[in-house]
Every structure is written in structure tokens, then in C-alpha cells.
Amino acid sequence: MTLKSNIMKHQLIIVGGGPAGYTAAEAAGAAGLSVLLIEKNNIGGVCLNEGCIPTKTLLYSAKIHDNAKHASKYAVQTSDVSFDLPKMVARKNKVVRKLVLGIKNKLSACNVTTLIGEAIIVDKNTVCVDDKLYQCDNLLLCTGSETVIPPINGIEDVDFWTHRDALDAKELPSSLTIIGGGVIGMEFASYFNSLGTKVTVIEMMDEILTGMDRELSAYLRQEYAKRGVQFYLESKVTSLMQNEEGIHVGYEKDETTSSISSEKLLICVGRRPVMNDNGIKQLHLEQTARGHIVVNEQMQSSLSGVYVCGDLTGHSLLAHTAVREAEVAVHAILGKEDKMSYLAIPGVVYTNPEFAGVGQTEETLQSKGIAYSTVNIPMAYSGRFVAENEGVNGYCKLHISDDNRILGAHVLGNPASEIITLAGMAIECQMTVADFRKIVVPHPTVGEIFREAL
């Protein structure tokens, strides 16, 4: 490799332009630091270009389609309800372009220099892009994660989908098998089921949505089973084969081997941090047993001047977590007092109905030996919910400590994603039940469900 001369110097170089990277760049640039943001693909990262935003755009179209099909429940008559999948995908792309442009404009307004290219870490103060060296006082690593492709027998001979392919599909498959019943798998199961595809979900664990409230996960699974989604739990995929009849998935359950067939196959079994071939490993940063980079409360790694945010830390593979981590890292670089807290990180599954949780689950409380009591009430306790969800119910579950502090909150029912923040704020601020009840909540709103539970 021949390196070009004229080394550029910045106070902060950020590798990775996803939510952590662009948030940090904006904050540091606004504070007056000279910032170089390097992104190998598209500003916005996986979340904006092929994750959070595009999936929610398509899921909203599917939700509108669902509402139209069932409009008669609300005394609204519709006929010949249909959808145009290519136009749905085109709208998704338009939304992504609009939001990417907005981020680029914000970066420009904050005097951030952006560079599209693959960064190679030379040392903690030097990064190489296209044979040109860039130096920095501080280095922030936000390289994110990538899709895990499991080593299943026969996978190399099968034309399977990842989430990227599913997002761009302009022809609806008649049938779809999804390997993986996590958040990504369930959201795509919801999307394709709403549009009329016969969906099958194969999950190795004994319940879908590992890490979410187990009881409510089971309720969500049962709801989608009623809609025709087939679930195979505690099932390990052992082989794949494709012929003119479709894709055949062999799986093992209870020491018995079976198989199912479908037109398309979607694999979404997880994600892993991006650290290969980019020089991060040669920094010899301390890592966990699972290969994630260890950071302190200020997001600094074991090497002074090197900060790490987002999926690389393994704390939470969520965009909103990465955004807060980025703010903390920049504050540390600026010398401002701040620290990262993972006490109340909301998790949301954007199915229909939505499912959201924040704080402790019963499973984590029991594993930690923490004493608690639980309140579990139907969402029908909320007048607004009843008005907008004819013939549908959901659940709100709260976990309370012995000293009456809110430890966890879990909601199954629309719009769980919008109201879970109320509980998250209470948990992060370590509010007691009495503190929370002093908050005046507008009526009628679904958020009143928390007051009803308390």
C-alpha cells in the first residue's frame, strides 16, 4: 500500500455514519471540534438505510391495509381493498432519501467533514482511507453490526433472503419461511402475513422474542397464530435445499427430523459486531467473552482516547441506545460530566399490535434474586384504547420493588411504542409509585394505562 502525503488532522475522527456516528459528529461539530466522519456505505447506516426506518415504513403500509380490511368494525364500509407492492417499496425508498438528506444537511450545518470510503485503523490516532492518512486527537468507533449467516448444511446452494432482500421485494411470495423468531423475524412475519403471504417462523428457543417479557411474547405469538402464521419453537434448522418446487428447510425437534417448504426463505438469526478487516482488532482493545468491546461509563475503551458506541459494545443493538452513547462519548471528549445508563432502554417490536418493554422483566428479576410484585391489567382499562381497538385487547404489566419503585413495564397493544417512554422516564428517574401518580396524564389517552395499573 502506497500512502499519499499531506496528512489531515482532526480533533475527532468517527468511523461509522449510523445513528451513533452521525449523532456524535453533529454534537462534536456543534461544540466547535473539527470532526471527520467516515462511512463506507451510506450516511445513516443500517438503521436508516436498511433497518429501522424502511421496515417501519413498510409495516405502516401493511397496517393501513389491515385497517382498511377491517374497517367495517368501525362502521366504515370499504370494498376491493388492495395494495401496490412496488409503490410501497418506492415510498419506502423516498422516505429513506428524505431522512438521509436531512442528516447530511445537519452535518453540514455543524461543519462536519464527511468522507465516503472504507476506514482502516492504523493506530489510535491514525486512520487510512483510500491510501490517504488522517490523524486525530480522539477516535470514536461506531462501525455497527452485520447480519449473521449461520453455517447450515446446503445454505450455499440456496437463494435465501436477508432483511435487505425482503425490504426490496416487489413481488409478494405465496409462502415464506423465516428462520429466527426475534424482533426482525417477527416484524417481517407481521408484514408479509398482513399482505397475504403464508408465513412460517422457525425458532431455536422455546419462545419467540428472547429478552422481551415472556408471557406477553406468548400472547403475541398466539395472536399471529390465529392469523395463520405457523410457529415451530425449540426447532433447530439442520439443512436447506432448493429445487423447482421451492426451498426445503429441514429441522430437528425433540430428536425428530422434519421439513417444510416455501417459495422464499428469510434468514434473520442475529447480528455480530463489525471488526474484521478494518484494523480495530490491532488496537487490542479489551473485549468481552462474546467479542464485544468493553467500555466505561463514558464510553471510553481500554485504550485512552479511543471511544466506542453502538453495536460494538454489545449492550444493546438499538439505534436509540447508540444515540445516547454517542452523546455521552462526546461529552467525555469535551470534558463535560456525564455517564451512560442502561437502566431504562426501551425495546419495541413493531408488529400489529405493537409490543414494548423497558426495564426489568420477570425473568431478569428472578435471575437477579430481586424481590418484586407485579400488576397486570388488560388494555381495556384505557378508554382511548377501547375506542380505537374494536374487538381487540392487550396487556399492561408493571413490576414494582419492595420500596414501591417501578422496575419494569411491558405493554402489548397499540400504540405501545409511543407510550413506553412514560414508564422509561419513571424507571430512569427511579420514581416511586406515589411520584408517578402525581403526574397529570391527558384524558383520554392510552398512556393513562400506567396510572390505571398503579
Q: Looking at residue 293, what DSSP letter applies? A: B
Together in a domain, 8 and 100: yes
Q: Which three cell numbers stand for residue 16?
A: 461509522
Together in a domain, 281 and 221: no
Q: Has residue 339 been placed in a domain?
A: no
Q: Which residues contact 385 (CB under 8 A, 6 or more apart)?
A: 379, 394, 413, 414, 446, 449
Q: Which residue range(s) make up the domain with 131?
A: 4-145+272-334
Q: Which three cell numbers stand for residue 303?
A: 485504550
Catalytic one of 248, 320, 410, 443: 443
Q: What is the CATH number of the domain that holds 431?
A: 3.30.390.30
Together in a domain, 122 and 233: no
Beta bridge partners of 260: 249
Going residue by residue through the chain, which has 454 residues, state the pLDDT in tens, using 9 for 90 and above: 445 557 889 999 999 999 999 999 999 999 999 999 999 999 999 999 999 999 999 999 999 999 999 999 999 999 899 999 999 999 999 999 999 999 999 999 999 999 999 999 999 999 999 999 999 999 999 999 999 999 999 999 999 999 999 999 999 999 999 999 999 999 999 999 999 999 999 999 999 999 999 999 999 999 999 999 999 999 999 999 999 999 999 999 999 999 999 999 999 999 999 987 789 999 999 999 988 999 999 999 999 999 999 999 999 899 999 999 999 999 999 999 999 999 999 999 999 999 999 999 999 999 999 999 999 999 999 999 999 999 999 999 999 999 999 999 999 999 999 999 999 999 999 999 999 999 999 999 999 999 999 9
pLDDT at 216: 98
Q: Annotated catalytic, 443? A: yes
Q: Has residue 53 been placed in a domain?
A: yes
Cis, peptide link before residue 353, omega less than 30° from 0:
yes
d(CA 85, CA 81): 13
Q: Has residue 128 been placed in a domain?
A: yes
| 3-class secondary-structure state, position 417 | helix
C-beta of residue 301 within 8 angstroms of C-beta of residue 294: yes
Q: What is the CATH number of the domain that holds 74?
A: 3.50.50.60
Together in a domain, 283 and 206: no
Q: H or E stretch including 406? A: strand 406-412
Q: Which residues contact 364 (CB under 8 A, 6 or more apart)?
A: 408
Q: Has residue 297 been placed in a domain?
A: yes
1-27: pLDDT as tens digits? 445 557 889 999 999 999 999 999 999
Q: Has residue 218 been placed in a domain?
A: yes
d(CA 454, CA 358): 16
Q: Has residue 87 been placed in a domain?
A: yes
C-beta of residue 391 within 8 angstroms of C-beta of residue 385: no
Together in a domain, 26 and 136: yes
Together in a domain, 353 and 303: no
Which residue, 254, 269, 284, sits at the end of a domain? 269
d(CA 303, CA 395): 46
d(CA 443, CA 69): 29
Q: Looking at residue 67, what DSSP letter applies? A: H
Q: Looking at residue 360, what DSSP letter applies? A: -
Residues listed for the chain: 454
Together in a domain, 12 and 130: yes
Together in a domain, 404 and 256: no
Together in a domain, 176 and 123: no
Together in a domain, 88 and 163: no
Count how many domains the chain has.
3
Which residue, 269, 286, 302, sits at the end of a domain? 269
Sheet holding 256-262, edge to edge: 236-243, 246-253, 256-262
Together in a domain, 242 and 314: no
Q: Has residue 340 been placed in a domain?
A: no
Tell which residue, 50, 34, 12, has the closest CA to residue 299.
12
Together in a domain, 25 and 160: no
C-beta of residue 137 within 8 angstroms of C-beta of residue 12: yes
Inter-CA distances, 170 with 60, 89, 90, 209, Å: 16, 7, 9, 27
